[in-house]
Amino acid sequence: MASLSEEEFTTLRNVTMELQSGNFSNCEVLFNIFDRNHNGTIDASELRVVMERIFDQEVPEGKIKNFITRVDVNKDGFIDINEFIESFK
């Protein structure tokens, strides 16, 4: 799985800051960075790639599973755009 480009990482940081200040207009842009293979959902391996880029270290499997479990409202094991947006609210 390809890691994030510098450009994607910059976008990710900027949009995350926007979300934290309550501006959700670029949520879809952020989702598309997480969704590495652009199939409309974020799976555990995609989440791992992005989280390891953010934290600049290996992220334990349990932490990734916990995050998905918390956000995955319909319990299909993947995070879709609606679940993703809700996770920031």
Q: Which of 49, 59, 72, 87 binds Ca ion (CB under 5 A)?
A: 72
Query: Are the CB atoms for 50 and 33 separated by under 8 Å?
Result: yes
Is 35 a residue that touches Ca ion (CB under 5 A)? yes
DSSP H helical segments within the chain, as ranges? 6-20, 27-34, 44-55, 61-71, 81-86
Is 69 a residue that touches Ca ion (CB under 5 A)? no
Residue 1 structure tokens: 């799985």
Q: Which of 17, 74, 82, 86 binds Ca ion (CB under 5 A)?
A: 74
Helix (H, G, I), strand (E, B) or coil at 5: coil
Applying CB under 5 A, the span of 2-10, 17-25, 51-59, 68-76 interacting with Ca ion comes to 68-76
Is 86 a residue that touches Ca ion (CB under 5 A)? no
